[in-house]
Amino acid sequence: MNFDFTDEQQMIKKTIKKFVKEELEPAIEEQGDEKPFTKEFLLSMLKKIKPFGLVGTTIPEEAGGAGLDLMTWGLLYEELPNQLKSMSGITANMARRIYDRGTDYHKEKFLPGLLAGDKIACSANTEPNVGSNPSEIQTTATIDGDHYVINGTKTFITNGMTADYISVAVQFDRSKGGKGVGIILVDREESPVEARPIKLMGFNTGELAELFFDNVRVPKENLLIPEGQGYKTQMSGFHAWRCFVGLSGCSIAEKALEYSIKYSQEREQFGKQIGSFQLIQEMLADMKTELDAARLLTYRALDLVNRGQIARVETSIAKHYATEMAIRVTSKAIQIHGAYGLTSEFPVERLFRQARILAIPEGTTQIQKLIIGRELTGMNAFR
């Protein structure tokens, strides 16, 4: 059993770490933490991370991609500032799906802009009444001449305000439930979609949005995943992405641990550094133990997916453990910082908010546990 990364992977990780510290973090710091980044700023960030392969990711180089394997993408992703993770990841994911499943028309129309880092994408599945069970979506697509006409509302959509392209899950035939679902690509320039921003804890600089499809007409050729295959496609996409959310949890927790160690070495009470108190050391030891466990579980799951194996249990374990771990670890970080930890003058309060949101998207903690339970028992709690 080998727990080491290849020399190349270690080198890539070291290089991006330095780049993030020297180039990205100062630029992000300058933008502040209070309001959403502008589209211009986000595109400038995409351009900066493109040379690392974080735009073209796993698409082969001969097709204009970066030719990374999934594991290497994950290692790079882990190092990215939290504020850029989902924006870049969701955009790259759409490019990969178009590369895998798209027609020549889709590839010519959508891929160049995405691979150049000139376009942002979002994936619209969740609806006001449909969250954990995407097979029940109610947004409809009906045919009218050469167009699909889309009607419905999508909500909590990452990149929803800025995205140029929307991958929208639609219901073609409600009587078929999940078997009626397909996916259509929407180019907002030719098919405008109304949107309103949603303010979310821990997501000040990001953009979640509600999207209103009100008789939105989209050329028929934009159908990416036909009726009957949309639900399955969404489910299969979850495996890698759950690991990526787990990695977000690990990087947030790692920062919280670093700040806590430093603070415990500096802060004095009862005439001693608080780091010398055994109960503070216990918290630090628990934080480090849980972080290492989460990271190993997440790397294991990502490695399995990278090797093309079905890893339903492992990816669900990684997602729920790493995200709940991040909540526990950032909460302990606040405890170690005392009242200062609750103020916005110290970074751990922000890390706690960032961690707290991770247990909801890409399948909540409860959904992950039900998937694991189903695989263990053969009994499906969802039915």
Ligand X SMILES: Cc1cc2nc3c(=O)[nH]c(=O)nc-3n(C[C@H](O)[C@H](O)[C@H](O)COP(=O)(O)OP(=O)(O)OC[C@H]3O[C@@H](n4cnc5c(N)ncnc54)[C@H](O)[C@@H]3O)c2cc1C
Q: Binders of ligand X among 111-130, rule CB under 6 A?
A: 122-126
Provide the 3-class DSSP secondary structure of residue 332.
helix
Residue 226 has which token pair? 């036909």
φ, ψ (nearest 5 deg) of residue 302? -65, -40
Could you tell me how many residues of this chain bind ligand X (CB under 6 A)? 20
Strand-pairing partners, residue 225, are 183
Round to whole Å and give the CA distance between 196 and 211.
7
- Residue 131 as a binder of ligand X (CB under 6 A): the answer is yes
Taking the least distance from each CB to ligand X, the nearer of 157 and 301 is: 157
Q: Does the annotation mark 362 as catalytic? A: yes
Taking the complex as a whole, the smallest distance from the CB of residue 327 to ligand X amounts, in Å, to 13
- Residue 331 as a binder of ligand X (CB under 6 A): the answer is no
Select the residue interacting with ligand X from 110, 156, 241, 259 (CB under 6 A).
Answer: 156
- Residue 259 as a binder of ligand X (CB under 6 A): the answer is no
Q: Which stretch binds ligand X (CB under 6 A): 59-67, 311-319, 343-351, 357-365?
A: 357-365
DSSP per residue, 200-237: -TT-TTS-EEEEEEEEEEEEGGGEEE-TTTHHHHHHHH
Write the interaction track for ligand X spanning residues 201-240; mark x where CB under 6 A is met and - where it is not. Answer: --x----x--------------------------------
Scan for tokens 């630090």, then name that residue. 284
Taking the complex as a whole, the smallest distance from the CB of residue 131 to ligand X amounts, in Å, to 2
Select the residue interacting with ligand X from 45, 71, 209, 357 (CB under 6 A).
Answer: 357
Q: Quick one: CA dihedral 136, 138, 139, 141, positive or negative?
A: positive
Strand-pairing partners, residue 148, are 143, 218
Provide the 3-class DSSP secondary structure of residue 187.
strand
The residue ranges that bind ligand X (CB under 6 A) are: 122-126, 131-132, 156-158, 203, 208, 357, 360-361, 364, 366-367, 370, 382
The residues carrying an active-site annotation are 362
